[in-house]
Amino acid sequence: MPPRPYILVVNGRKVRQPVFVIGAPHSGADLLARALKRTTGFHFTIGQPSVLSVVYAFARSPSIQQGRGEAAATVLRDAFAQAWQVTPHACLTCLPACRLARSRSASGTCVDERDITRYGDASPEMMYCAEALVDAFPDARLVQIIRDGRDVVAAMLADPESLAWFKRGVDNVDTEFPNPFFGVETESDLAAWPKLSAAGKCAMRWRGSVHKMARLRSSLGADQLTTFRYEQVVREPQATATALSEFIGLKVERIEVPARPPAAAGWRRALNPAQLTEVEQVAGQQLRRVGYGD
C-alpha cells in the first residue's frame, strides 16, 4: 500500500524522506546524530523545544495517542515545521548537544538555508512516538541503535538526568499503564517497580526499548527501518557511515568516534554484584536474545 501523501514545506523546501534516529538513553544515538547533522544538505535537529514538548507528552502518556492517529501525526508535523525553521533564535533554543554538533554557516545558523535538501531529528525519547512519526511522515527513514543493556544501565546510573525520571512524583507508572517509557508492560512489572533499585529501573527501561525496537522491526520494512549496534559503530565507524549512507540515500562522510569512547563491557567495572544480579533478573532474557549474553 503506497504511503499516504502529505505536504510540508519548511524554509521553502518540501520535506521528503526525513530521517529520525531513535534509541534508549546512552545507546549511542548521539554519534549518528552528529554525523547526520554535519552531512551536506541535511538540516538535522536535536531537542528543539517544539518537538521535545510533544515527544515527552507522547512518551510519558501514550494513552493520549491511542485512537488519535491522524491527530497525533498532525501535532508532530506542526512541531517539526516549527523546529526545522532556520533562524538564529532557533539555534539558541535547542539542546546543548545540538549546538555542539553543528557546523556554523555564514549567517550564524547551524546550516545554510539554501543548501537544505533533507531534514531529520534525534530528539531524546523519540522512539516512544515512532508510530506517530511514520503516520506523520509515511516516507520517513528510521535509524535505531542498540547497545549492551548493562553498559546502558551503568551510563544511566552516572547521569542525574536519567535518574531524575525515577524520583517520587515524577514517574507515572501508577496512572499510565502500560507505560513503555519506563518499560512497565505487565501487571508483574507494575508490582515489581516500587521494589526495584535505580539499576533495576534502568534495566527495565532498556528492556522496554528492546521490545519497542522489535515491534518496529516487525511492522516496518528494511527500506524504512535499519538498526545499528553501538559496539559496531565505535569499532567500524567508516563501515557504519557507508551503510548509513546507503540506507538514507545521502552521503555521510564520516562518523566521529571520541578518541576514548566508553569501552564495551565497561559494566564489568561500573556495576557491583548486587546491581548485576538485579539487571539479570529484570533483563537477562532480553540481553541474551539480542546477543549480549556473555
Report all structural domains of the chain as residue ranges with CATH numbers, in order of start: 13-146+221-261 (3.40.50.300), 149-220+263-294 (no CATH)
Of 274, 276, 270, 275, which Cα lies nearest the Cα of 294?
276
Q: What integer pLDDT is reported at residue 106 of this predicted model?
A: 46
Q: Are 27 and 148 in contact (CB under 8 A)?
A: no
Residues 285-294, mean pLDDT to the nearest whole number: 92
Q: What integer pLDDT is reported at residue 4 of this predicted model?
A: 63
More confident residue, 170 or 264: 170
First CA to last CA distance, the chain:
42
Tell me the pLDDT of the chain averaged across its residues. 91
Percent of the chain topping pLDDT 70 = 95
Distance CA 127, CA 225 (A): 12
Asked whether the predicted pLDDT for residue 156 surpasses 60, the reply is yes
Q: What integer pLDDT is reported at residue 107 of this predicted model?
A: 56
Which cell numbers in the block locate residue 228?
A: 545499528
Phi, psi of 293 (to 5 degrees): -100, 5
Residues 65-70, mean pLDDT to the nearest whole number: 81
Amino acid identity, residue 60?
A: R
Residues 187-209, mean pLDDT to the nearest whole number: 98
Residues 89-104, mean pLDDT to the nearest whole number: 69
Asked whether the predicted pLDDT for residue 186 surpasses 80, the reply is yes
Asked whether the predicted pLDDT for residue 259 surpasses 90, the reply is no
Distance CA 240, CA 255 (A): 8
Give me the residue label for grid cell 533483563. 283
Q: Are 154 and 24 in contact (CB under 8 A)?
A: no
Sheet holding 141-146, edge to edge: 42-45, 118-121, 19-23, 141-146, 225-229
Asked whether the predicted pLDDT for residue 79 surpasses 80, the reply is yes
Distance CA 187, CA 135 (A): 30
Question: pLDDT, tens digit, for every residue of 97-146?
Answer: 776 766 555 456 778 888 899 999 999 999 999 999 999 999 999 999 99
